[in-house]
Structure 1
Amino acid sequence: MINREKKKEVSRKRTFRVRNKLKTFGERPRLVFNKTNKYLIAQVVDDKQGVTLAYATSYEKSFPETGGSRKNKKAAEEMGKIIAQRAIEKGVKQVMLDRSGMLYHGKIAAFADAAREVGLEF
């Protein structure tokens, strides 16, 4: 069984590997998705200029009610819709999904599908 420190190290390496591939091969802004113990965070980052173009969190007061939790799959779908609308308002339609080393499954897949439905391309 893998111990906690080894697990963190492997996760950190995976995160940096994914992020470096996105930075080296991409000309488009990154759509970064992150999970904390209580909330979800998403932002659109332009690495060339070093600025955040759009930002959304599940702890905003304007975030819709999702049935008790602000971190479940339904909250991820709402987050995808919100960040896509804000990015399109700023003139960004094409992005690259930075999943922060997490598997493309569950909340991340729901987030990405909802963002695609609104009009983001990745």
Structure 2
Amino acid sequence: MSTAHDDFDAWKRRRTLELAYELADSGRYEDFTDIAYALQFERGMATAQALIDDPDMRRVLNQRCGDAREKLAPLPAPEAVAAVEAVEAVAQTSNDHAQLPQAGDFARAPSFLRRALATFTRSGNAGDLNSAAS
């Protein structure tokens, strides 16, 4: 009897992890907390939080969420592409020996940094940052 129970528990763990990966790869979730919520409350898997509450598992799920969202993100606007090309042109003609970041440098940055950079480049008006009520 114990073997059947152990097999069932192993199957539940495996199925929970498979679903967690599927949800992360869908691009609809921000991070592991959203996945834990979806598994627990939308899918009725009461033990999901405990199964994915491991630092390595959280890191993997967060990475997969970020990668999936980036694949679904729209291509950059032509203005952003032109700005990157202008920076590259300045970097190539500059006498300064300090090297400016290249487009490839941003591709290697963590996804949250790329999203933050994209947010500031898309906002267009830095004055909006100080518009909160005092």
| TM interval, short-chain normalised | under 0.3
Q: Which has the higher helix share?
A: 2
> What TM-score results when the alignment is normalised by the length of structure 1?
0.27
Which structure has more strand as a fraction of its residues?
1
Larger radius of gyration between Structure 1 and Structure 2: 2
